A and B are shown apart, each in its own frame.
Chain A
Amino acid sequence: MKLCRYAALLALGLTAALMLSGCWSSKEIDRLSVLIGVALDHNESKNASSEGRLAVTIQTLTTGASALNSQSQGQSSVRPYINMLATGNSVYEAIREMSLRTDKPPIGHHLKAIVVSAEVARRNSLENLLDFFMRDNDIRPGSLVFVSNGRANRVFELKRSEEIPSFHMAGITENRYRTSKILPPTTLGKIKGDIKAGASLLLPNIISQDGKLRLSGAGVIRGKTKKLVGLLTEEEVLGVVWMTGSGKGGVMSAIDPSTKRPVVYEVNSMDSTIRSFVSGDRVSFKVSIRSIGRVMENWSRPEESSNQQFLDYQTRLFERKIGDLVDRTIEKIQREYKTDVLGFRDRLRIEHPRAWERFKSDWDDRFAQADISTDVKIRIEDYGLVVE
């Protein structure tokens, strides 16, 4: 018994000593570089030293970035971030190639934005491109994914040096309360689910205009091939948002035909209900869009702002405008792109599960032939602080 105890204590002592000698995973935070953004481009240079088809740009924080948070007067000439470029056949390969150049290994815990250029997305499956990001243990599913129509790494350069592009991008997507042209955030986690299910999806398109970022439209990714098949304009994205009722705010302006002047409707809330109908092999959908809001700017007939008749007239005006927009958008997506990025598959799955089992293998094509009817109803709650 005593011997057992001593043996146990001895073993304990040895293992304790062993463990003190190695702090294997300890890596001080200031010896790491914090990865905040990754841009994937097509490798177009014919340079001998750059092999592989991908040009990966990573954006990391410099240690001076903390100056933004602390009290010191910023030396605005020093940028708080660094972009580094490497090439390779796959994303991880390219990133690891940078270990030849930097003294601080990057960590992906704070990755905010992944930007894929439209070019690369056309040629490569999104599943492949994002595979590393989905697999890595550091990178969190909350990172946002964008496409960029043009060179992706251009969006990583901003004119105003104290702004950090990746944070800026993440920040813009939070403006959904102010405009309806922004899609719900496309996080890595959400995309993972869609990609694995073979669903088509939209990725917001971020571009750089005069050294400033702009969120403009979206890229359409087809579920079957997981490649980019086209882009939607800002107006079309607006239509998508209205159709899916996923907006949290925003404005809709219409031109009053009688006076040819604009009236503006501000959205308080919007909602859309989709119902699916299956008869045999044909599928049809009814979309009901409801919204509550207020008239925020009235150039047309300001003297009649509070007139109930005029309000009804405006209501119908907006309803027509929204209805047209949504119809046009659906038309384009159905006919031109033939992909269901609008979430109709979910409705069918929920409401007609057996039919869904039959259709899901070639859903995008079936969707292109579905009948979709829309119906818009708006309620104007008030007209602000000015009464006539």
Chain B
Amino acid sequence: MNSGSNNQISTQQAVVILINYILAAGILTLPRTSAEKVGTPDVWLAVLIGGAIAIAAGSVMAKLSERYPGRTFFEYSTAVAGKWIGGIVSLAMIVYFIAISAFEVRTMAEVTCFFLLEGTPNWAIVIAFMWIGIYLVAGGIDPIARLFEIILPITIIIFAIVTLLSMRIFDFERLRPVLGLGFSPVWKGVKTTTLAFLGPEIMLIITAFMKRPASAIKVVVSGVSIAAAFYLATVILVIGGLSLDGARASTWPTIDLIRSFELQGLLLERFDSLLLTIWIMQIFSTFTVTLYAAAKGASDLFKRGFKPFAYCFLPIIFLCAMLPKNINETFQMGDQIGHVALVLFGVVPLLFLVLSFLRRKRRGRR
């Protein structure tokens, strides 16, 4: 059902989708949230560990999906865990995807309002954004993959330029001492950094579209590693540029980093516009992927068409996005969603995988 010729994505495209999904609001807030928890400049170690955990969890999900080629999680969940449990878990995932969508859109609206468009009301920004999103999602997985292939190189190039320029105010001493207070502060930050790597759960869906599902685990490894490279660079440069306390005191430390220097005489003296551009594109990619995942999930679960769900979820996401009343509540919402995700995608797929092995064994014995 999911293998029409226009619906197949290559391994490369899967990697690109994964990277674009992982990179989202975290780029702007990770330096602060992780620095708050860790308290020493060893945040980058926490990032590495978080990435490793994400790879592990993602591999479980990839392996699980691999065992049911051509079917998304929502299609085989009932086969693995029975109608009721499978259905409930699927429903929970759909709700999760909707919530993440709303959270990302809201964060984007906050930042855009704050730095770019002061007088514009939140809802106008969100609605315009969502219309372009549905334009993309209505086409299915193929245009999504292709668009992401355009967005990713742009992101990489601009990110590289902007971060290299920030070397002007980079001071290596701010990153020392390494492990000065031992390893325990690092552990405190691992949960925050792992949550920044939320994204491999998409493997539960896109593995069904892959031309070669066997390379799903490779996709997870390369995707998370590249995203980890981004996060690592961000964290190191922000703490090196702003110092740990500066990062802790900034609401959006990455933007503050870019705003801290100006290159006189160049065409573009100030580079935060570039960073905001790629960031908005990254949020767009995350939003469209989650909307797609939610709509596909609902469509698979209830065995109906895909497009009506996509359109219907739009107003739901809009309302959820407008729910938090201020920026603190927005951050809280993100935290709560993160906690749910840890269970939903850390523990549950493992259980499913075990169940799947057991079932196969049982069938094999027969």
Q: Taking beta carbons and an 8 Å cutoff, which residues of A are in contact with B?
A: 1, 4, 8, 12, 15, 18-19, 22, 24-25, 27, 134, 137, 140-142, 187, 189-190, 192-194, 196-197, 346, 349-351, 353-354, 356-357
Least distance between A15 CB and chain B CB atoms (Å) = 5
Secondary structure of the B side of the interface? Answer: helix
Q: Bound state CA distance, A350 and B175, in angstroms?
A: 9
* Chain B, 156-182, CB within 8 A of any chain A CB: 169, 173, 176-177, 180-181
B175 to chain A, nearest CB (A): 9
Chain B residues lying within 8 Å of A27, measured Cβ to Cβ, are 119
* B143 at interface by CB-CB < 8 Å: no
Given contacts A12-B131, A22-B124, A25-B118, contact A196 B259 (CB under 8 A): no
- In the bound complex, how far is the Cα of B258 from the Cα of A140, in angstroms? 10
Q: Is the CB of B311 within 8 A of A187?
A: no
Q: Does B115 contact A (CB under 8 A)?
A: yes
Bound-state Cα–Cα, A189 to B260, Å = 6
Q: Which chain B residues border A187 with CB–CB below 8 Å?
A: 260
Residue of B nearest to A199 (CB): B245
Q: Are A193 and B245 in contact (CB under 8 A)?
A: yes
Cα(A196)–Cα(B256), bound, Å: 15
Known: A15-B131, A140-B270. A350 touches B177 (CB 8 A): yes
Q: Do B242 and A193 touch (CB < 8 A)?
A: yes
Given A189-B242, A346-B173, verify A141-B259 contact (CB < 8 Å). Answer: yes
**Contact in complex: B131, A196 (CB < 8 Å):** no
- Asked whether B124 lies within 8 Å of A19 as measured between CB atoms, the reply is yes
Contact at A4–B308, with CB atoms within 8 Å? yes
Say yes or no: B246 contacts A349, CB within 8 Å. Answer: no
Q: B121 contacts the other chain (Cβ, under 8 Å)?
A: yes
Q: List 5 A-B contacts (CB under 8 A).
A: A8-B311, A15-B131, A18-B124, A190-B246, A350-B176
Given A15-B127, A19-B128, A137-B114, the answer on whether A189 and B120 have CB atoms closer than 8 Å is no
Docked complex Cα distance between A141 and B259 (Å): 6
Interface residues of B in 276-290 (CB under 8 A from A): none
Given contacts A15-B131, A25-B118, A346-B173, contact A354 B249 (CB under 8 A): no
Give the docked Cα–Cα distance between A349 and B176 (Å): 8
Bound Cα distance from A153 to B180, whole angstroms: 46
User: Which single member of B119, B260, B262 contacts A25 (CB below 8 Å)?
Assistant: B119
Q: How far is the CA of A129 from the CA of B270 in the complex (A)?
A: 26
Residues of A contacting B256 in the complex (Cβ-Cβ under 8 angstroms) = 141, 189
Report Cα–Cα, A18/B126, bound state, in Å.
14
Contact partner, B118, options A4, A137, A140, Cβ 8 Å = A137
B177 & A137 in contact (Cβ 8 Å cutoff): no
The residue of chain B having its C-beta at the shortest distance from the C-beta of A22 within the complex is B124
Output the least CB separation between B319 and chain A (Å).
Answer: 15
Contact flag A142-B261 (CB < 8 Å), given A350-B173, A351-B177: yes
**Interchain CB contact under 8 A, A349 and B259:** no
Q: Is B243 an interface residue (CB 8 A)?
A: yes
Interface check B248, CB cutoff 8 A? yes
CA distance A190 to B260 in the complex (A): 9
How far apart are the CA atoms of A7 and B245 in the complex, in Å? 51
Cβ-closest chain B residue relative to A135:
B251
Q: Which of A24, A134, A357 contacts B121 (CB 8 A)?
A: A24
Q: Which residue of A lies closest to B181 (CB)?
A: A353
Residues of B within 8 A of A134 (CB): 249
A351 to B245, CA, bound (A): 18
Q: Does B117 contact A (CB under 8 A)?
A: yes
State the CA gap A196–B32 with chains docked (Å). Answer: 14
Chain A residues near B131 (CB-CB < 8 A): 12, 15
Which residues of chain A have C-beta atoms less than 8 A from B246's C-beta? 189-190, 192-193, 196
Highest count of chain A CB atoms <10 Å: which of B40, B243, B250: B243
Q: Looking across the interface, which residue of chain A has its beta carbon closest to that of B246?
A: A193
CB <8 Å contact, B311 and A4: yes
| Minimum CB–CB distance for A24 against chain B, Å | 4
* A247, B101: Cα distance in complex, Å: 51
**Chain B residues, CB < 8 A from A197:** 243-245
Given A24-B121, A142-B260, A189-B260, the answer on whether A196 and B127 have CB atoms closer than 8 Å is: no
Which residues of chain A have C-beta atoms less than 8 A from B40's C-beta? 353
- Please list the 8 inter-chain residue pairs (A to B) with the smallest Cβ-Cβ separation, ordered nearest first: A353-B180, A193-B246, A197-B245, A25-B119, A193-B243, A24-B119, A24-B120, A25-B117
A187 CA / B131 CA spacing, docked (Å): 41
User: Which of chain B's residues have a CB closer than 8 A to the CB of A353?
Assistant: 40, 177, 180-181
The answer for the CA separation of A166 and B131 in the assembled complex, in Å, is: 45
| Interfacial chain B residues near A1, Cβ < 8 Å | 305, 308
- Give Cα A274 to B361, complex, Å: 67
Please name all residues of chain A whose beta carbon is closer than 8 Å to the beta carbon of B169 when the two chains form the complex. Answer: 189
B298 CB, nearest partner CB in chain A, Å: 15
Q: What separation, in Å, do the CA atoms of A307 and B128 have in the docked complex? A: 77
Minimum CB–CB distance for B267 against chain A, Å: 16
Contacts of B261 on A, CB cut-off 8 Å? Answer: 142
Query: A18: shortest Cβ distance to chain B, in Å?
Result: 8
Q: For residue B270, which residues in chain A have a CB less than 8 angstroms away from its CB? A: 140
Chain B residues with CB under 8 Å of A142's CB are 259-262
CB distance from A163 to the nearest CB of B (A): 18
Q: Roughly how many angstroms separate A187 CA and B241 CA in the complex, as a whole number?
A: 12
Q: How many Å from the CB of A162 to the closest CB on chain B? A: 20
Interface residues of B in 124-142 (CB under 8 A from A): 124, 127-128, 131
Task: List 13 additional A-B contacts (Cβ < 8 Å) besides A25-B116, A137-B115, A193-B243.
Answer: A4-B307, A15-B127, A15-B128, A22-B124, A24-B120, A137-B114, A137-B118, A140-B270, A142-B260, A189-B256, A192-B249, A349-B177, A349-B180
